[in-house]
Structure 1
Amino acid sequence: MKDRIKLIMEKENLTPAKFADKLQINRAIISHILNGRNNPSLDVVTKILSEMDYINSEWLINGTGNMYKEGYGGNSVFPEPDLFNQDATNRARAVEAIEKSKEKGFKQPDYNAQLTENKMIIPSKNNDRKITQIIIYYDDNTFEIFGPHLK
């Protein structure tokens, strides 16, 4: 089952930490499962199947059948937010997710769709400013911090 959980995380583009957060379980639990220290508990399996209702339970538990339930295309139902490509499909999926959560009794904040405009931003010319820190983010979810206080 460990390999199937890894496959879910890979297909959903989730790090172990994001996966644990999505399931609302301790990150150490996922770490122990992935390292082979512990087998997934019934609680973990139940949370996977309730949070990701498009995962085929027969496949997750026994490894038989398809990973996704019939009629599911294979991409994450809740894709990671993309600041540069917010098409109508993503908005429709977000509305669908909100409707599903309302059915489950969760209170959702009021979101109003806003259109953005391309505007020219003119930086202010303040000569008193100095760079104090530079952060570089890498695609493997790591980062480095550079600054005069860090040597």
Structure 2
Amino acid sequence: MRERIRQIMENENLTPAKFADKLQINRANISHILNGRNNPSLDVVARILSEMPYINSEWLINGTGEMYKRGFDVNSIPLEHDLFHQSPAPSHQEELRVEKKEASEVIEAEKRTQPVETKSVVVNENREKKISQIIIYYNDNTFETFLPQSAK
């Protein structure tokens, strides 16, 4: 079954991480399955068949029959894009739609921005520091407070 899972990932151009994310399972589970450390659990098989209802369950579980259910158009699978499997260039209309959307997002962001106020802060570093009190805590939960002569 490991090789069939690998074949699904390859056909749909999914990395192990993207495949795990698509199935909403821990990425380590997929890694362990692909490395042969673990066999796929019933939960993993159920999630594959739930998230990819076009996969033939007989093929996934037993390796018999075709990978995709009868009548399924393989070209209708939305592939994940990567550097090696680029999608065709978008149409001119699609480019215009994206540019218009980006422009409206920029305008909305500009509306949300607020002017920046600049204020200068004056730090007086020549302040003379004087002790106002000293508190000593003892291990029997008592304490004493000492005040300088000028504060008494």
Supply the AA of the counterpart residue of 1:42.
Answer: L
Whether 1:85 aligns to 2:90 is yes
Q: Match for residue 37 of structure 1?
A: 37
Calculate the TM-score normalised by the size of structure 2.
0.55
User: Which sections of structure 1, spanning at least 5 residues, go unmatched?
Assistant: 92-113, 119-151
Q: Which range is displaced more, 1-10 or 68-77?
A: 68-77
Between the aligned residues of both structures, percent identity stands at: 69
Structure 1 residues 76 and 28: alpha-carbon distance in aligned structure 2, compared to 1, 3 A threshold: farther
Q: Does structure 2 retain, via aligned residues, the 8 Å contact 1:12–1:75?
A: no
Supply the AA of the counterpart residue of 2:45.
Answer: V
Calculate the TM-score normalised by the size of structure 1.
0.55
Q: Does structure 2 retain, via aligned residues, the 8 Å contact 1:12–1:76?
A: no
* Partners of 1:116 and 1:16 in 2: CA distance: 30
Whether 1:60 aligns to 2:65 is no
Q: Does structure 2 retain, via aligned residues, the 8 Å contact 1:58–1:64?
A: yes
Q: Match for residue 51 of structure 1?
A: 51
Matches within 5 A, 1:21-32: 21-32=21-32
Supply the AA of the counterpart residue of 1:115.
Answer: R
Once the two structures are superposed, residues 59-106 of structure 1 have per-residue CA deviations (whole angstroms, 9 ceiling, x without a partner) of 00000000000111223623336594369xxx9xxxxxxxxxxxxxxx
User: Which sections of structure 2, spanning at least 5 residues, go unmatched?
Assistant: 82-86, 101-152
Structure 1 residues 86 and 9: alpha-carbon distance in aligned structure 2, compared to 1, 3 A threshold: farther
* Partners of 1:62 and 1:18 in 2: CA distance: 25
Runs of 4+ in 1 over 6 A off after TM superposition: none
- Helix, strand or coil for the counterpart of 1:59? helix
* Partners of 2:88 and 2:97 in 1: CA distance: 13
* Partners of 1:86 and 1:49 in 2: CA distance: 34
Which of the pair has the greater relative contact order for Cα pairs under 8 Å at 6+ separation? 2
Greater gyration radius? 2
Q: Match for residue 148 of structure 2?
A: none
The alignment yields a C-alpha RMSD, in angstroms, of: 2.8
- How many pairs are equivalent? 94
Structure 1 residues 17 and 42: alpha-carbon distance in aligned structure 2, compared to 1, 3 A threshold: same
Q: Does structure 1 retain, via aligned residues, the 8 Å contact 2:14–2:80?
A: no
